[in-house]
Structure 1
């Protein structure tokens, strides 16, 4: 995940595939970006077999632009996790990389990616997210000024506070 557009996700996956193969580790890639175009590596499953942003945008009854089309696709995907389960089969590889759309709104404003992580965990995957930031974006500090501050701590249960403290 990363900033929308060209955030380097496919380059990251390609590099990780090469690295894992060099170490003798089995790795597969699953494309979960319904707007993806080209891959320099094989994918074991491709969300575009289920739904594509271009098809959604061309559907005149929906009338979505690129962002609305992406949201529609991801919500459709969340309602069809059985497609992913069938596509994964009984994967025995050391690693499965999920190449996800970069639009941060999918992670911060919608439940889709949280639902995906929870589903993968139910299928006994150990999940780790990688947030990619373009180094050229970082060169100019005014473009990357975030400071993460947790608020509303008083509303958390004791159990949740302990979990955060780990």
Structure 2
């Protein structure tokens, strides 16, 4: 059995930083976690990549091709679609190898359409599962963006859309907590507590526009709360305990190590006939 985390999220949310931090943290635990760059438009990253999709196809090459007329977004979609073509799948399978008990993080592109309403990442999940991978999605959101109530609701609905689209175990992570000031951290913490819909409504009751849609905002927040559909894990990459907690939850979602053989040891019991007889001194 092999394990895969699809690290998803908007551009600039901290996906590559998350992968680098988890990889480095795993080293302190004497554990190997590999990372794959799956972003054809990536410019730089700080982790040690198992392999790089840009060796197969690069978004710049697609945009410069004379027989194509793609912009940056269209070129990125073309690259991901090509990866799911027979030649792309064969290349991906060869790069992944056939090692057992691998845990691999796939650093995915930052184009949100790939996860919310296109099926290319869904096909990626199905392909990995056919290769005996257990897959979970780690959806990354910038905590600084989520400190505002309206943006918190927007981000939560986006996370929910990704969850519904991919249909795999899912973790939502708020990154860059270390960059927030005290007031912003306290605001985030209030959203992580119960009564989310009430908090959203109170923040949305400022303008006439927001008052008009107060019931809608309350209903959306109540759905998120009552069905426990979206929950967040705050991540501070400067704190080892924060990284440990997140890795534990990711392992739980993947059931990492559940299929490992139980280590047993045979014990030799003494033969009763070989025991020395009791000596009677009377």
TM bracket (short chain): 0.7 to 0.9
Structure 1, residues 42-64: CA drift from partner, whole Å, max 9, x if none? Answer: 11111101101111111132111
Give me the whole-angstrom Cα distance separating, in 2, the residues matched to 1:46 and 1:125: 19
Report the equivalent of 2:37. Answer: 31
1:19 paired residue among 11, 25, 30 = 25
1:35-54 matched pairs, under 5 angstroms: 35-54=41-60
Shift, 1:102, TM fit: 2.0
Structure 2 residue ranges without an equivalent (≥5): 1-7, 162-282
Q: Are 1:134 and 2:160 an aligned pair?
A: no
RMSD: 1.7
What is the number of equivalent residue pairs in this alignment? 149
Deviating above 3 A after TM superposition, structure 1's stretches of 4 or more consecutive aligned residues are 146-150
1:14-163 matched pairs, under 5 angstroms: 14-79=20-85, 80-92=88-100, 94-146=102-154, 148=157
Report the equivalent of 2:9. Answer: 2
Give me the whole-angstrom Cα distance separating, in 2, the residues matched to 1:109 and 1:52: 23
- In structure 2, the CA distance between the partners of 1:36 and 1:93, relative to structure 1 (3 Å rule), is farther
Shift, 1:71, TM fit: 0.5
Structure 1 residue ranges without an equivalent (≥5): 151-166
- In structure 2, the CA distance between the partners of 1:10 and 1:44, relative to structure 1 (3 Å rule), is same
Give me the whole-angstrom Cα distance separating, in 2, the residues matched to 1:40 and 1:91: 24
Give me the whole-angstrom Cα distance separating, in 2, the residues matched to 1:92 and 1:15: 23
Shift, 1:91, TM fit: 2.8
Task: Provide the secondary structure at the position in 1 that maps to 2:36.
Answer: strand
Shift, 1:128, TM fit: 0.6
Shift, 1:93, TM fit: 5.1
Give me the whole-angstrom Cα distance separating, in 1, the residues matched to 2:34 and 2:113: 26
Q: Which has the higher contact order (CA 8 A, sep 6+)?
A: 1
Q: Highest CA radius of gyration, 1 or 2?
A: 2
Structure 1, residues 65-98: CA drift from partner, whole Å, max 9, x if none? Answer: 1100000000001102111100011234541111
* Alignment TM-score, normalising by the size of structure 1: 0.84
